[in-house]
Amino acid sequence: KGPDPDLVAIAERMATVKHKILVLSGKGGVGKSTFSAQLSYALAAMDFQVGLMDIDICGPSIPKMLGLEGQEIHQSNLGWSPVYVESNLGVMSIGFMLPNPDEAVIWRGPRKNGLIKQFLKDVYWGELDFLVVDAPPGTSDEHISIVQYLQATGIDGAIIVTTPQQVSLIDVRKEVSFCKKVGVEVLGVVENMSGLCQRLTDFRFAKLMENGEQNDITERVLGYMREKAPEMLDLIACSEVFDSSGGGATQMCQEMGVPFLGKVPLDPQLCKAAEEGRSCFADQKCGVSAPVLKSIIEKL
Ligand code: ADP
């Protein structure tokens, strides 16, 4: 029996991709897709040729986070063409293939595996410096498939995104153990939503009752500060939102012997950028997370 023709086809496609990075999380809602999207934007802003592949089949949020809702995949004689945000940032997601975005995708494992195989085999990425793969939360069919299909051609490693709470960290330990079992290097762990950080100018100050009327005092407070203490406007205020008394991701990384990449705060501007399908990284004024994301990416 000869080699599996699918694996041969995947290896051929992947031969033009220099680095492959998986983005994983133990739980949903911790910011994995947001991180994958911003990582891809950041790498593209650094002039790399980047592909972002969303294999979260049941909850594809990547099209929205890159401002590509409603776009469709086209086919050429070279294969399926990704949808391009910029000439050096292409995106592939099942979200582009659903006739109705509100419809649930109820697929069993083999069908999910089939689609992942097809994404790897049939998408024409051309020359890529990085292929970022946004996986669904947990360690299920999709993860086993992607690792199995990519391993023959080599995976650089996985980045695991978590929040600081124990409930999320417990599941990160499972992701680390999954990576160890299947032989994928853990490039590092990102602690997302690590405290709420805002510039003072992002604050909305509470309304004030004056003569029985409600007044929004934000403009008055900021106006006063602009005049009296403009340097204060650049202050960043942070508060702990989630309990990290157990040492958060930093300590877990030490215990498990994997690199800790950094903390991204809960940042209203980052959330806005994700909602509007924009890069938070390119716009240095975008909240307080852009420099943090930059330092994380530099460590990779
Ligand atoms: P996951 O992929 O882990 O399910 P998402 O990336 O979809 O999580 O993030 C869930 C929600 O949280 C999104 O609305 C996203 O914009 C928001 N979010 C993620 N990280 C941050 C952050 N650091 N600051 C503010 N909002 C964030």
> Residue 161: which residues within 8 A CB-CB, separation 6 or more?
23, 24, 25, 30, 31, 32, 35, 189, 190, 192
Give whole-number Cα distances, 175 to 109, 166, 256, 277, in Å: 19, 14, 11, 28
pLDDT digits (tens, 9 = 90+) for 5-22: 989 999 999 999 999 999
Q: Is the pLDDT of residue 243 over 90?
A: no
- Indicate whether 300 pLDDT > 70: yes
* Bigger pLDDT: 234 vs 33: 33
Question: Which residue's alpha carbon is at the smallest distance from atom 6 of ligand 1?
Answer: 31
For residues 165 and 20, the model is more confident at 20
Residue 247 alpha carbon to ligand 1 centre in Å: 22
Ligand 1 atom nearest 194 alpha carbon: 23
Confidence of residue 63 (pLDDT cuts 50, 70, 90): very high
pLDDT at 297 over 80: yes
pLDDT for residue 284: 63
Q: Does the pLDDT value for residue 138 go beyond 80?
A: yes
- Inform me whether the pLDDT recorded for 117 exceeds 70: yes
CA 267 to ligand 1: nearest atom: 24
Q: Where are the domains of the chain?
A: 5-195+242-299
Q: Please give the structure tokens belonging to residue 211.
A: 């003569």
Q: What is the CATH number of domain 5-195+242-299?
A: 3.40.50.300
What percentage of residues in the chain have a pLDDT greater than 90?
Answer: 59
The confidence band for 285, taking pLDDT boundaries of 50, 70 and 90, is: low
- In angstroms, the CA 110 to CA 220 distance is 60
Give the model's pLDDT for residue 279. Answer: 92
Under the banding of pLDDT at 50, 70 and 90, the label for residue 126 is very high
Q: Does residue 238 register a pLDDT over 90? A: no
Q: Say whether pLDDT at 103 is over 80.
A: no
**Rounded mean pLDDT of the chain?**
90
Say how many Å lie between the CA of residue 271 and the centre of ligand 1: 6
Cα 146 to averaged position of ligand 1 atoms, centre (Å): 23
